[in-house]
Structure 1
Amino acid sequence: MRRRVLTAGIALALAALPTACAQSQRDNAEAQGGTFTFGAAGAPDLFDPFYASDGETFRITRQLMEGLVGFKPGTADVEPRLAQSWQHTPDGRTWTFHLRQGVKFHDGTDFDAGAVCANFQRWYHQTGAGQNNALSYYWIENFGGFADGKQPSLFQGCDAPDPATAVVHLTRSTSKFPDLLALPSFTMQSPTAMDRYRADDVRAQGDSFVYSDYARQHPTGTGPFRFVSYDEGNGTVKLARNDQYWGPKAKVGEVVFRIIPDETVRKQELEAGSIDAYDYPNPADLKALREAGDDVRVRQPFNILYLGFTQKNNPALRDLRVRQAIAYALDRQTLVRANMPEGSQVADEFYPNTVDGYAPDVRKYPHDPQRARQLLAEAGASNLTVNFYWPTDVTRPYMPDPQGIFNALAENLRQVGITVNPVSKPWNGGYTDDVDNAKADLFLLGWTGDYNTPDNFIGTFFGTPTNRFYTAASPWGQQLADQLRAADSEPDATKRDGMYQDINRQLLSDYLPAVPLSHSPPAIVTSPRVKGLVPSPLTAEEFASVSVSRK
């Protein structure tokens, strides 16, 4: 139809103008104004997403900034965003992005190929504290090293042959490109604002960091909202609609994030009408929330909870039969039914079956206490004792009730004769440090996928021999890492899929560095006043589509 109108001549084009004006009026009417108030579980660390790794920071900057690619709402699939299209060379090492025209950053700076390369060069040329894993976590995890050459880097260079074309050069092919460019850490930020407010002026101070004026007060992207203020004393962050946004304008005039750490208080604030939405409601509250008329949206599961093994301090755990015995001892069906939110599934592999490389024929470990006792006896470990770590003071999307999950699994182990020494520590008060430093025999951890590739799951867990699983001391630790790198570097998608299926089979039959437990869909809840919120399996909701009725 559109092609016929375009070729029908000026008269028909002029006749169509009232319809176009009417559409414009409808678009403006949909930009209703008002405020959407979100109850955030924690304070953001900062507002420069490159230096961030926490979900509360990303929840805010996701509204302010956009990448070359983004995630299609409600999915983990990549779609065009600031790049309208792209292509790559057969070897997967050179990527050409054709950029959207007429886009400006919030400070009026043009978004163009020069800005794209300026962002890549900024990331690549970090020095000093900027290279700390706590700051450049997502760069190090996805791209590796920096321009100083101390560690190899996936990034090689960026060219801007014209304002509408950016060419990114990689040192090797990788399955995660360009998907990783949808991560908040790799969104485009204004080179002008970063220079003016010294974005890279970050330094260590004791166990923390001191950030620049840019990161604290002047984050500048191209997104549908712009930054207004952060009132730390009152725990509020304010954003305003970007009326110069290149796409459909946001439907509310303002977004406010109220920082409310206590989940019970968030629920009470929703009931009182003081907030319009909050994340990760307690599964036990879902029925009551629905009965009160609130809209509980259960996301598609895109995560994994697993029971990890550290083989460093307990020699018995280096025996595959012992690790298999523990897997058979666990009653995962009952765990999912009794301790996990609705829609949860028992996990047979370390990522959901929607991710490439999922192998339907991996070795399964149904609940079989007799088989568990037999394997322990064969390994001479019938009197096995384990230090089992679980975290306090935390709720994770994949682990809504850490103590309840621990209690259920510990009882399963005791039923097959394993002595369990419980060790509980706060998540950020020793738990993750102890796990990473190989102090736990067994531990609970998990992951919500950043994007839809196998490397983002099993590559993140096992791609480098680490203390967490103590795979550096395992005869197969480096072999597994090499297999994962080879699969990630394979440019042929069909061949790569087969390689990952083989790895998944070996992970469950020959290696077993952990036991996959469950895929758990976290919920997000809104008041009935809220319309247009699209839940994301990545917990990566964008608020431009949200409207709030105050009638």
Structure 2
Amino acid sequence: MTFKRKAAPVVALTAAALALSACATSSRDSGSSGDSSSSSGGTGTFTFGAAGAPKLFDPFYATDGETFRVSRQIFDTLVDIKEGAATLEPGLAEKWEPSADGKDWTFTLKKGVKFTDGTDFNADAVCKNFERMFDQNEAGAVAAEYWGDNMGSFKSDAANSLYKGCDAKDETTAIIHINRATSKFPAMLSLTSFSMQSPTAMDKGKANDVQKAGEGFTYPAYSQAPVGTGPFKLDKYDEANKTVTLVRNEDYAGDKAKSAKIVFKIIPDEATRRQELQAGSIDGYDLPNPVDWKGLKDAGFNVEVRPAFNILYLGLNPANNPKLKDLKVRQALYYALNRDQLVKTQLPEGAAVATQFMPDTVSGYNKDLKPYAYDVDKAKSLLAEAGATGMTLNFAYPSEVTRPYMPNPQKLYDAMKTDLEAAGIVVNTSTKPWNGGYLDDVSAFKYDAFLLGWTGDYDSADNFIGTFFGNLKTNRFDTKDQDFGQALSDELKAADGIVDADKRATAYEDLNKKIMEEYLPGLAISHSPPALVVSSKVKGLVVSPLTAEKFAGTYVEQ
């Protein structure tokens, strides 16, 4: 069933160019067993090589791809993204309809759905989930980055929140109220962070009891034993053997999963993941090094290349290094980077130098913007004008991770470091594991500059530049310490609230130009097409342009 729509502000998901569908094929003898091709499910295990351990198992507080990869199999969302595309389709809600002003959204829910602890999924559960997300303590409000990025604020600051409230009209009808019309609603509800979770289990496990611990957080018992409605449920996380095991939810309301188990085997080193695939101890892994694509294909493995729906950027922290408050210094860093060479030597075929903080498939992309050229002399001149010749830059990159926009963080970092030093900048290097302190340190503004990126969650300009710069309290560019920060936040909110799609696109085009030429809060580096590789015995896999694969239909043929 399709959702109903009135003439109200909803995301225009024009993603035909992103549509993908693929059944993975290649050739090797997998150690997994069982053909799970029947709708009732099979007995086999699908083993996937993960680049890192999940940060936790409650997706509401998650910020990283490895956590979301696991969570996506356990939980369902009200609104879903069609497999192999970026278009919306029904999830736990069969349909939805906005009020004329786009502020009240009525969701008609699927019947007969239960959480894996036996709790009924109904309108009351929906409202309890949203109230739980909205009502965070001080630590939880910092940890729940996706809510902050998308909803703006929490109950303690309700006036600045997009979310207003939720009413359970009856068992199968939930009405969600928002404070202003926005282009990203209801598409944002497809985010794994906004998954529906068992109110019973959350209450029992004190799900909101997040506490500050140094620069990071400690999470409650629930975060290690989450309960969803999805096709799989968490069996165990074996830290010693570095595996996460999910088992099929035999009571799932939809088609049963084709595999009895999914095992995520944590293998931080990409070369080791490749070797384990070749040896047959895993059935696939994400983000193979682009230099290995041809060799993997020649060996009979299937390398599925997704479209580039992402951005790699060099984030800057002016609060930590006041010299970065000068636009000329930020421009100098940009001119110092040989991004053409970086794309050619460090990124896969199909990668491109970025001109702005979103890919060209998103409405609002400004086609007239040109990339900052590589010009070392100009970089040196701008630094001199700013009185920053010989400045020191504490620059960081993550280890033990491979990201769609960043296939080899160290090599990308080394290339940029060399370029910056050639312009006379003194670079101090820092690195930490992705989920072992790096993300926490970035959020705590410990570095002057850092490598990070973003893969779009759905097709919306707000999901890119709105996420980066819209919330002054939580954004990693620390724009609150820049004189343009409030103006940029206000301009983003105004553009997002424009109902007419064409006028909204024009507003975003203008804003992209201003961000790159007048504000420059960070440096957009590149877009990179990510790949996923599996054996020939893996069937039913559909890859996602959002790198958001669901494995319910995936199985290993005997």
Shorter-normalised TM range: 0.7 to 0.9
Match of 1:479, SS?
Answer: helix
Match of 1:293, SS?
Answer: coil
Task: Verify the 8 A CA contact 2:116 2:233 in the aligned structure 1.
Answer: yes
Instruction: Tell me the amino acid that sits aligned with residue 367 of structure 2.
Output: P
Instruction: Tell me the amino acid that sits aligned with residue 494 of structure 2.
Output: A
Instruction: Tell me the amino acid that sits aligned with residue 393 of structure 2.
Output: N
Q: 1:192 to 1:442 in 2, by over 3 A?
A: closer
The answer as to 2:427 corresponding to 1:421 is yes
Task: Verify the 8 A CA contact 1:283 1:340 in the aligned structure 2.
Answer: yes
The answer as to 2:220 corresponding to 1:211 is yes
**Pairing of 1:433-452 with structure 2 (within 5 A):** 440-452=447-459
Deviation at 1:166, TM superposition (A): 1.0
1:502 to 510, 519, 529: 510
2:87 to 71, 77, 102: 77
The answer as to 2:485 corresponding to 1:477 is yes
Task: Verify the 8 A CA contact 1:373 1:382 in the aligned structure 2.
Answer: no
Match of 2:415, SS?
Answer: helix
For 1:133, the equivalent position in structure 2 comes to 142
Q: 1:373 to 1:85 in 2, by over 3 A?
A: same
The answer as to 2:232 corresponding to 1:225 is yes
The answer as to 2:409 corresponding to 1:402 is yes
Q: 1:292 to 1:109 in 2, by over 3 A?
A: same
**Pairing of 1:12-411 with structure 2 (within 5 A):** 28=38, 31-127=41-137, 129=139, 131-134=140-143, 136-149=144-157, 152-203=160-211, 207-212=216-221, 214-217=222-225, 219-312=226-319, 317-369=324-376, 371-372=378-379, 375=382, 379=385, 383-387=389-393, 389-395=395-401, 396-411=403-418
**Equivalent-residue separation in structure 2 for 1:425 and 1:166 (angstroms):** 46
Which is worse superposed, 448-457 or 351-360? 448-457
Q: 1:249 to 1:50 in 2, by over 3 A?
A: same
Deviation at 1:515, TM superposition (A): 2.4
Q: 1:332 to 1:252 in 2, by over 3 A?
A: same
Q: 1:409 to 1:89 in 2, by over 3 A?
A: same
**Equivalent-residue separation in structure 2 for 1:59 and 1:419 (angstroms):** 38
**Equivalent-residue separation in structure 2 for 1:469 and 1:193 (angstroms):** 36
**Equivalent-residue separation in structure 2 for 1:205 and 1:471 (angstroms):** 25
Task: Verify the 8 A CA contact 1:363 1:509 in the aligned structure 2.
Answer: no
**Equivalent-residue separation in structure 1 for 2:319 and 2:116 (angstroms):** 51
Deviation at 1:79, TM superposition (A): 1.7
Match of 1:536, SS?
Answer: coil
- Structure 1 unaligned spans of 5+: 1-25
For 1:489, the equivalent position in structure 2 comes to 497
Match of 1:28, SS?
Answer: coil
Which is worse superposed, 522-531 or 431-440? 431-440
Instruction: Tell me the amino acid that sits aligned with residue 494 of structure 1.
Output: D
Note the alpha carbon deviations across 1:398-451, whole angstroms, 9 max, x for none: 222233223323443455x43332323325566556655656554433222233
For 1:513, the equivalent position in structure 2 comes to 521
Task: Verify the 8 A CA contact 1:386 1:418 in the aligned structure 2.
Answer: no
Task: Verify the 8 A CA contact 1:305 1:444 in the aligned structure 2.
Answer: yes
* Number of residue equivalences: 519
Deviation at 1:345, TM superposition (A): 1.4
**Which of structures 1 and 2 has the larger relative contact order (alpha carbons within 8 angstroms, sep 6+)?**
2
Q: 1:439 to 1:274 in 2, by over 3 A?
A: closer
Q: 1:190 to 1:413 in 2, by over 3 A?
A: closer
**Equivalent-residue separation in structure 1 for 2:324 and 2:58 (angstroms):** 42
**Equivalent-residue separation in structure 1 for 2:236 and 2:442 (angstroms):** 37
Deviation at 1:326, TM superposition (A): 3.5
Instruction: Tell me the amino acid that sits aligned with residue 273 of structure 1.
Output: G
For 1:456, the equivalent position in structure 2 comes to 463
Task: Verify the 8 A CA contact 1:70 1:81 in the aligned structure 2.
Answer: yes
**Equivalent-residue separation in structure 2 for 1:92 and 1:430 (angstroms):** 40
**Equivalent-residue separation in structure 1 for 2:446 and 2:154 (angstroms):** 31
What TM-score, normalized to structure 1? 0.85
CA RMSD of aligned residues (A): 2.8
Q: 1:383 to 1:173 in 2, by over 3 A?
A: same
Q: 1:331 to 1:156 in 2, by over 3 A?
A: same
For 1:15, the equivalent position in structure 2 comes to none
Q: 1:78 to 1:33 in 2, by over 3 A?
A: same
Note the alpha carbon deviations across 1:322-344, whole angstroms, 9 max, x for none: 43344333321211010112321
Deviation at 1:67, TM superposition (A): 0.6
Match of 1:102, SS?
Answer: coil
Match of 1:114, SS?
Answer: helix
Task: Verify the 8 A CA contact 2:150 2:467 in the aligned structure 1.
Answer: no
Which is worse superposed, 392-401 or 310-319? 310-319
Match of 1:513, SS?
Answer: coil
Q: 1:509 to 1:238 in 2, by over 3 A?
A: same
**Equivalent-residue separation in structure 2 for 1:500 and 1:29 (angstroms):** 45
Note the alpha carbon deviations across 1:280-310, whole angstroms, 9 max, x for none: 2223332332222221222221211123344
Deviation at 1:504, TM superposition (A): 0.3
Q: 1:408 to 1:327 in 2, by over 3 A?
A: same
Which is worse superposed, 521-530 or 387-396? 387-396
1:536 to 502, 522, 544: 544
**Equivalent-residue separation in structure 2 for 1:476 and 1:162 (angstroms):** 46
**Equivalent-residue separation in structure 1 for 2:165 and 2:129 (angstroms):** 11
Q: 1:198 to 1:481 in 2, by over 3 A?
A: closer
Note the alpha carbon deviations across 1:185-218, whole angstroms, 9 max, x for none: 2111222333445444555566541422x4323x
Deviation at 1:139, TM superposition (A): 2.0
Task: Verify the 8 A CA contact 2:51 2:268 in the aligned structure 1.
Answer: yes
- Structure 2 unaligned spans of 5+: 1-35
Identity of aligned residues (%): 52
Deviation at 1:461, TM superposition (A): 1.9
**Equivalent-residue separation in structure 1 for 2:276 and 2:488 (angstroms):** 48
Match of 1:167, SS?
Answer: strand
For 1:20, the equivalent position in structure 2 comes to none
Q: 1:333 to 1:83 in 2, by over 3 A?
A: same
Q: 1:89 to 1:335 in 2, by over 3 A?
A: same
Match of 1:287, SS?
Answer: helix
Task: Verify the 8 A CA contact 1:397 1:521 in the aligned structure 2.
Answer: yes
What TM-score, normalized to structure 2? 0.84
For 1:13, the equivalent position in structure 2 comes to none
Q: 1:322 to 1:200 in 2, by over 3 A?
A: closer
Task: Verify the 8 A CA contact 1:357 1:500 in the aligned structure 2.
Answer: yes
Q: 1:63 to 1:443 in 2, by over 3 A?
A: closer
Deviation at 1:383, TM superposition (A): 3.6
Deviation at 1:394, TM superposition (A): 3.8
For 2:14, the equivalent position in structure 1 comes to none
